[in-house]
Chains A and B, each alone.
Chain A
Amino acid sequence: MLLLISIFVFSLSRASGDPRNLYLDEYATDAMYEAWGVKLGLDKPLYIQYLVWLGDVVVGDFGESLYHNRNPFDLIKERLPATISLALIAFCWAILVGIPLGVLSAVKRGSFIDYFARWFALLGQAMPVFWVALMAILIFSVELGWLPTSRKGGPDSYIMPALCLGWLPAATLLRITRGSMLEILDSEFIKLARAKGVSPVIIIWKHAFRNALIAPVTLAAIIIASFLTGTVVVEAVFAWPGLGSLSIDAIKNNDFPMMAAIILMFGSFYLTANMLVDLLYMSLDPRVRVE
């Protein structure tokens, strides 16, 4: 899979035109052109070029960022902690709010909590993240002056970006958890447990919840993807010095080597996360292990 992504990135890098045009200006002579061609390995067949490029990438050599004039890999290493710390906080709040609220809203169907939870989810799924972030800045920073507008600083600078980033995943988790909880609470074995006189708390958290958890895990790929998108957007709005704003800079400056490095980075992260989810899935659902 990672190989596929790398082939995709490589073919795009070649489709973007002769890489010599990136390094040489219009005053370059034909001889210089040829010399650069040999230097970059363009005289060899395409699959050899790919293998050479892949070999460089594996050892962390993505060429040079056209804008920063530095190794993209070093830049990524510098920016990574900011993104990870923000994403972790957002992820925690998405899970801590989304899943319990989903369970509660299914158990107390039709109650105030259910009503609140459904609106929370509807809003989270319909409001564009960038707009929420801007409006939050307008209300809490510009008008009320409670929180810093942007950039990474003390703990209070995490509040708005993390809340904005986590809302959509929280809403998705909530809806999925609620749906599967409702379905499971309606099933035969729950009725049997009720008839047997098992206490409601045990029914909900032991019998139903463990089964209901499987649904969010199966859709984790979608949630993780929306999280990736969210990171880029939130970082762009809050001028957060992470990978997202790095990729936005790369777009604005047409910085291809930088972009290639970021995409491979995000891609490998995405695949690792999905693999971990598969493992989690197996430990949650014994039926999968049998196959």
Chain B
Amino acid sequence: MATIYKQVPDPVYLTALKKAWYVFRRYPLIPIGVFFLLVFVAIFGPMLAPFDPAQGSIRTRHIPPIWLEGGSAQHFFGTDSLGRDMLSRVIYGARVALMVAVSVIVVGGISGTIIGMFAGYLGGLVDEIAMRIVDLLLAMPFLLVALTVVVVFGQSLTQMIVLLILFSWDNFARVVRAESLRIKSDAYVDAARVAGASNIRIVFRHILPGVFGVVLIVGSLRVGQLILIEATLSFLGAGLPKSVPAWGVMVADGQAWITTAWWVAAVPGAMIFVVVMSFNFLGDWMRDFFDPKLRQRA
């Protein structure tokens, strides 16, 4: 007689392969890998890059990547229209992308958090003014502002970062404010006030730990968007100046050669795609992990 009981898989007795698959499904391993690779490349970029990203020679112009016919082992991703090594430029591009995203997230996140906490905790006029500014920023299409500023003041790295900061703190402020409003009504905040703690002490000692998780989630969701926005502006010629080896700038360089040397545009664009996708994945995962209630805010 054949067994009529169907074997129910027990997580304890899973084979090694199945366990690996389980971990793979549950934790975003590929995005985490991409993230660490990006950070590593960004930090050690100058040591890893085989060539100077700004130096090229007309003789090495438009060499295809290594996996195509005519590619050379010296230039893994080939060379661009000025004969510059694409791999080195991509590596330096990672540095630029990460530097912009991190500085914007850190400065924008900290200022947005502080403004949000005070707006939520103090209420009244402070709240009113802060939220009016936030509404105003939301109503302004960022691209147009960026384009105008570039026409008027020209382009630079710092200007780009400042602009992005100005348009990204509001996101943090709004979420942190809502969270502070909730925490404010908790008994321990009242207790702190009765004990004679100053407003500043209450905000930084008692409210800050409570909003920290939300800040992390918003920040991680925002990184991918920031990289995408920066790349788009750079592509349009309204972001980072041509001299900076940014991925967006590189795609713009390759646009003219799409029929003859397609890799010049394809490779940096693919980098943007993979990195943004990984950050979006990580952000979604962190949100689900830390706060399932936030899940559906897209």
Contact = CB atoms under 8 A, between A and B. Distances in A.
Interface of A: 1, 4-5, 8-9, 12-13, 15-16, 122-123, 125-131, 134-135, 137-138, 142, 172, 175-176, 179-180, 182-183, 215, 219, 221, 225, 228-229, 232-233, 236-237, 247-248, 250-252, 254-256, 259-260, 263, 266-267, 270-271, 274
Contact of B258 (A137, A175, A251): A137
Given A219-B298, A251-B238, A266-B141, 20 more contacts: A12-B152, A15-B153, A126-B280, A127-B276, A128-B232, A128-B251, A129-B232, A130-B269, A131-B266, A142-B262, A176-B296, A221-B139, A225-B142, A233-B232, A237-B255, A251-B147, A251-B236, A254-B151, A259-B147, A259-B151
Contacts of B82: none
B141 A267 contact: yes
A1 B132 CA distance: 12
Interface string B265-298: 1100110110011001100000000000001111
Pairs of residues from A and B, 4 with the lowest C-beta to C-beta distance, nearest first: A179-B296, A131-B269, A126-B277, A16-B152
A1 B139 contact: yes
Contact of A232 (B236, B252, B269, B281): B236
A258 to B, nearest CB: 9
23 contacts: A1-B139, A9-B148, A12-B152, A125-B224, A126-B224, A126-B273, A127-B276, A128-B273, A130-B252, A131-B272, A138-B258, A142-B259, A180-B296, A182-B296, A229-B141, A233-B236, A248-B236, A251-B150, A251-B151, A266-B141, A266-B144, A267-B144, A271-B139
Contact of A128 (B141, B152, B237, B269): B269
A134 B257 CA distance: 11
A232 B146 CA distance: 13
Which among B138, B148, B251 has the highest number of chain A CB atoms within 10 Å? Answer: B148
B235 A233 contact: yes
Contacts, number: 136
B139 A131 contact: no
B100 interface: no
Contacts of A233: 232, 235-236
B17 interface: no
B143 interface: yes
Interface in B116-167: 136, 138-145, 147-153
B217 to A, nearest CB: 15
B215 interface: no
B152 A130 contact: no
Contacts of A9: 148
A148 to B, nearest CB: 13
Nearest to B274: A126
B273 A263 contact: no
Nearest to A264: B144
Contacts of B136: 4
Interface of B is mostly: helix
Contacts of B232: 128-130, 229, 233
A221 B143 contact: no
B163 to A, nearest CB: 13
Which among B151, B235, B238, B280 has the highest number of chain A CB atoms within 10 Å? Answer: B151
Which among B139, B142, B248, B280 has the highest number of chain A CB atoms within 10 Å? Answer: B139
A127 B273 contact: yes
Which among A134, A135, A256, A271 has the highest number of chain B CB atoms within 10 Å? Answer: A134
B231 interface: yes
A123 B297 CA distance: 18
A151 to B, nearest CB: 15
A119 to B, nearest CB: 10
B257 to A, nearest CB: 11
B145 to A, nearest CB: 8
Contact of A248 (B237, B254, B297): B237
Which among A130, A247, A274 has the highest number of chain B CB atoms within 10 Å? Answer: A130
A129 B266 CA distance: 13
A186 B186 CA distance: 29
A247 B269 contact: no
Contacts of B49: none
A250 B151 contact: yes
A178 to B, nearest CB: 8
Which among B150, B265, B277, B298 has the highest number of chain A CB atoms within 10 Å? Answer: B298
Contacts of A259: 147-148, 151
Contact of B143 (A175, A179, A215, A232): A232
Given A131-B269, A176-B298, A183-B296, A236 B151 contact: no
B153 to A, nearest CB: 8
Contacts of A250: 151
Nearest to B238: A251
Interface string B1-15: 000000000000000
B151 A255 contact: yes
Given A128-B228, A259-B147, A252 B152 contact: no
Contacts of A129: 232
Contact of B298 (A16, A179, A260): A179
A81 to B, nearest CB: 21
Contact of A274 (B139, B145, B296): B139
Contacts of B273: 126-128, 131
